[in-house]
């Protein structure tokens, strides 16, 4: 815990981390399946490695299998089949108390009849620490979460944010090899949530903790994670670093779940070595990237709203130009949100800089453009 903290890629660059040295896997899911009723699978054939010191987020809507996966890793649910390896050893039959994994629950699960200090000392009781060492560690853990003077209070006397810090301190005080968090910030208001995101991330980097974090909040996932595993329908749709996930989603679900997106039906018109061209529903054509590998039917073109610009305001010669009628304008402060009628859709969303949209009125026809590298063909 010294002064200089190497915060990861977040502040440094927005490029996907290039050829990072492969981390030694701490957690490995091998063909893990889970069914509660013996019929439908909540988790279908999960394969996932979590590297040592990594912050991995499992992101997905409710019912996508992310929490079940976390519960299996924590030892509260047993996989129906497959293996979970912790540091190379299969642990799926080990009870939670033998796994040495810190767990932060959504409702914090602090013991209400114990003081804050007793809560934090609880895990040390089972690790044969001397009285003096326990006290020293509790004090250090309290100061780590900025609650130095709160040791004698009961959890019920603390605010939600403070309780959340106590839960964090309790999960970290015994230096577990792995910390799991199940929507730990879900109950906090927006400002506190953003503050806690920063603090958790900072602690994770400082202490070099491996963390598996479950959330349904995509901005939280983008802010904190080294990698994000997007869950849907009991399967990981894509597992990648936040930049890759945002810029190069592999399917429609990921494309629309992470950030805003326009998904437009299209057909492949031309595909050769260095050019890819698609025809839209209204017959217009656009240059695109990401050639489909298999099926040629039911293709979608994914275009992020903020990549669409008013024509003439960008200088790249590789842009796709198109004409559109402006349906509506909503001023958002830093940008204007437009809905456009184009490509056979009457609800193409574009976010353009407020000053570029100055002359536009609802009902106007105007020219827009989008770089071809931001038009991604998706198969599924």
Partner 1 sequence: MWLPTYATPFERASRFIVLSFAICVLLFLIAPLFVIVPLSFSHDPFFTLPVKQWSLRWYADFFENPRWITGIINSTVTATSTAILATTLGTLAAIGITHPAFPFRKAAMAVLISPMIVPIMIVAVGSYLFYGELGLTNTRLGLVLAHTALAVPFVIVTVTATLSTYDGNLSRAAASLGAPPLSRFFRVMLPQILPGVVSGGIFAFAVSFDEVVVALFLTGAEQRTLPVQMFSGIRDQINPTIMAAATLLLALSILLFGTLNLLTRRT
Q: Note the residues at the interface with partner 1 (CB under 8 A).
A: 74-76, 95-97, 99-103, 105, 107, 109-113, 122-123, 125-127, 170-171, 174
Would you tell me how many other CB atoms lie within 10 Å of the CB of residue 335? 18
The candidate with the shortest Cα–Cα distance to 338, out of 350, 324, 347, 346, is 350
Please, which residue, 113 or 313, has the CB nearer to partner 1?
113
Decide whether 99 or 232 has the Cβ nearer to partner 1.
Answer: 99
Q: How far is the CB of 321 from partner 1 (least distance, A)?
A: 56
Q: Are 336 and 327 in contact (CB under 8 A)?
A: no
CB-based contact 120:73 (threshold 8 Å): no
**Buried b / exposed e along 282-292 (16+ C-beta atoms within 10 A):** eebebbbebeb
Show the beta-strand stretches assigned E in 36-157. 41-51, 55-59, 81-86, 89-90, 101-104
Q: Which is nearer to partner 1, 103 or 213 (CB)?
A: 103
* Residue 245 tokens, joined: 């996930």
CB of 88 to partner 1, least distance (A): 21
Handedness of CA 124, 130, 131, 133 (dihedral sign): negative
Q: Name which of 107 and 284 has its Cβ closer to partner 1.
A: 107
Which residue reads 């992101």 in tokens?
Answer: 59
Task: Find the shortest distance in angstroms from Cβ 128 to partner 1.
Answer: 11
Least distance (Å) between residue 275 CB and partner 1: 55
Would you say 111 or 330 has its CB closer to partner 1? 111
- Is the CB of 99 or the CB of 137 nearer to partner 1? 99
Separation between Cα atoms, residue 363 and residue 380, nearest integer Å: 34
346: part of which helix (H) or strand (E)?
strand 345-353
- Determine contact, residues 238/251, Cβ cutoff 8 Å: yes
- If we measure between CA atoms, which residue out of 69, 46, 42, 47 comes closest to residue 58? 69
Task: Look up residue 291 and give its two tokens.
Answer: 């050639």
Least distance in angstroms from the C-beta of 122 to partner 1: 5
Going 308 to 309 to 314 to 317, the CA torsion angle's sign is: positive
- Cβ within 8 Å of residue 246, ≥6 positions away: 222, 258, 259
Closer CB to partner 1, 170 or 193, in the complex: 170
Q: What's the CA dihedral at 159, 163, 165, 168 to 10 degrees?
A: -170
Shortest Cβ distance from residue 251 to partner 1 (Å)? Answer: 34
CB of 171 to partner 1, least distance (A): 8
CB of 98 to partner 1, least distance (A): 8
Q: Rank residues 101 and 144 by Cβ distance to partner 1 and give the closer one.
A: 101
The count of residues in the chain is: 380
Closer CB to partner 1, 213 or 257, in the complex: 213
């Amino acid at each position: 815990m010294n002064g200089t903290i190497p915060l990861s890629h977040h502040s440094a660059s927005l490029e996907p981390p290039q050829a990072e040295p492969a981390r030694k896997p701490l957690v490995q899911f091998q063909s893990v399946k889970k069914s509660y009723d013996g019929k439908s699978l909540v988790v279908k054939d999960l394969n996932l490695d979590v590297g040592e010191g990594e912050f991995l987020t499992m992101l997905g809507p409710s019912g996508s299998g992310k929490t079940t996966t976390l519960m299996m890793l924590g030892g509260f649910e047993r996989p129906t089949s497959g293996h979970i390896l912790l540091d190379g050893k299969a642990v799926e039959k080990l009870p939670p108390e033998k796994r040495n994994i810190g767990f932060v629950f959504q409702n914090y699960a602090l013991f209400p009849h114990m003081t804050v200090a007793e809560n934090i000392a609880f895990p040390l009781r089972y690790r044969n620490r001397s009285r003096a060492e326990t006290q020293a560690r509790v004090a250090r853990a309290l100061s780590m979460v900025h609650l130095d003077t709160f040791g004698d209070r009961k959890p019920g006397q603390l605010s939600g944010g403070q309780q959340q810090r106590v839960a964090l301190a309790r999960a970290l005080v015994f230096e577990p090899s792995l910390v799991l968090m199940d929507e730990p910030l879900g109950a906090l208001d927006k400002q506190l949530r953003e503050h806690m995101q920063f603090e958790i991330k900072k602690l994770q980097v400082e202490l070099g903790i491996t963390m598996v974090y479950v959330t349904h909040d995509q901005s939280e996932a983008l802010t904190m994670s080294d990698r994000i595993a997007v869950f849907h329908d009991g399967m990981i749709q894509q597992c990648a670093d936040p930049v890759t996930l945002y810029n190069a989603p592999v399917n429609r679900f990921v494309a629309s779940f992470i950030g805003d997106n326009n998904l437009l039906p299209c057909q492949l018109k031309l595909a050769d070595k260095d050019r890819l061209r698609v025809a839209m529903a209204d017959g217009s054509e656009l240059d695109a990237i990401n050639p489909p590998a298999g099926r040629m039917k039911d293709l979608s073109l994914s275009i992020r709203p903020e990549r669409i610009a008013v024509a003439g305001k960008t200088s790249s010669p590789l842009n796709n130009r198109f004409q559109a009628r402006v349906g509506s304008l909503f001023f958002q402060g830093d940008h204007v949100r437009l809905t456009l009628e184009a490509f056979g859709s009457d609800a193409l969303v574009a976010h353009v800089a407020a000053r570029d949209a100055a002359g536009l009125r609802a009902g106007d026809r105007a020219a827009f453009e989008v770089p071809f590298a931001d038009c991604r063909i998706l198969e599924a």
